[in-house]
Amino acid sequence: MKHIAIILARGGSKRLPRKNILELHGKPMLAWSVEAALQSGQFDQVLVSTDDPEIADVARSYGAAVPFLRDSAADDITPSSEATLTALGQAEQHWGERFDVVSQLMANCPMRNAIDIQAAVRNFIEQGAESQISCFRFGWMNPWWAVRLDENGSPDYLFPEARVARSQDLPALYCPSGAIWIARAPTLKSARTYYVPGHIFHTLSWMSAMDIDDVEDFEMATACFLSKTDS
């Protein structure tokens, strides 16, 4: 099967400006995703889809294919699946071939590595899935105890039945991550989303699954890299 990795890296991030090429532990954030995809050995093409010439140059310098800039779906409203479909259409026209499987790797998930990608692809194939989305298990941030607060600080419990339960007595809950999404290309084209009927989830560690969207996320990722270096 022809398998393409599409790394989304638009230039107009608002919460953390230019986040995709901010230096993270010695290299641009985007570079970690490019290198992980290439080192995994799972893909016929590793394409970076961007609307930004500077990001394109950075991606090429780390070995990604960037034969064109994204021609649409580069705003902060369009769902990532639509951006991936736009890039897929451009890629198939450019290379003159059809891809069977499409992996979407977000550039702001730099902590996932080649081993994580290999495991995700292996699970996708073994399960015979049409679509697979990465996730991580909630840990100390126990969502069972989540509340909404009004202007006076009074709580509205989302799960009132779990309010007095011990955390170890509650079932595990999981959160989607943008790290590794995989789908069969015809299914993705038809559904226009990775959330197709019957989609499955594949679990990563919380560190591998980390999404960087703002300054606090970036500081946490920097600290995680430092702890890995020191250990």
Q: Is residue 201 part of a domain?
A: yes
Q: Is residue 157 part of a domain?
A: no
Using alpha carbons, list the distances in angstroms from residue 60 to 1, 34, 67, 89, 152: 25, 9, 9, 20, 52
Considering only residues 90 and 216, tell me which one the structure prediction assigns the higher pLDDT.
90
Q: Is residue 160 part of a domain?
A: no
Q: Is residue 163 part of a domain?
A: no
Could you give the CA distance from residue 137 to residue 188 in angstroms, rounded to a whole number?
Answer: 26
With beta carbons less than 8 A apart as the criterion, state whether 106 and 8 touch: yes
Q: Residue 120, Cβ neighbours under 10 Å: how many?
A: 26
Could you give the CA distance from residue 192 to residue 224 in angstroms, rounded to a whole number?
Answer: 34
| Tokens linked to 136 | 């991580």
Amino acid identity at 208? S
Per-residue confidence (pLDDT) for residue 224, from 0 to 100: 82
Q: Is the pLDDT reported for residue 229 higher than 80? A: no
Q: Is residue 9 part of a domain?
A: yes
Cα dihedral: 163, 167, 170, 173 (round 10): 100
Per-residue confidence (pLDDT) for residue 64, from 0 to 100: 98
Per-residue confidence (pLDDT) for residue 6, from 0 to 100: 98
Q: What is the pLDDT of residues 159-202, one digit of tens each?
A: 999 988 888 899 999 999 999 999 999 999 999 999 999 999 99
Average pLDDT, the chain: 92
Considering only residues 122 and 142, tell me which one the structure prediction assigns the higher pLDDT.
122
Percent of the chain with pLDDT strictly greater than 70: 94
Query: Among 3-17, 67-81, 204-218, which range has the highest average pLDDT?
Result: 204-218
Q: Is residue 72 part of a domain?
A: yes
Least confident of 84-88, 189-193, 219-223: 219-223
Q: What is the CATH number of the domain that holds 22?
A: 3.90.550.10
pTM of the model: 0.92
Total domain count, the chain: 1
Q: Is residue 95 part of a domain?
A: yes
Indicate the SS3 state at residue 33. Answer: helix
Per-residue confidence (pLDDT) for residue 155, from 0 to 100: 96
Q: What is the mean pLDDT of residues 88-102?
A: 97
Q: Is residue 158 part of a domain?
A: no
CA nearest neighbour of 167 among 142, 190, 191: 142
Backbone angles phi, psi at 228, to 5 degrees: -65, -35
Q: What is the pLDDT of residues 58-83, one digit of tens each?
A: 999 999 999 999 877 656 668 999 99
Considering only residues 141 and 147, tell me which one the structure prediction assigns the higher pLDDT.
147
Which domain covers residue 115, as residue numbers? 3-138+173-230
Per-residue confidence (pLDDT) for residue 231, from 0 to 100: 45
Q: What is the mean pLDDT of residues 202-207?
A: 96
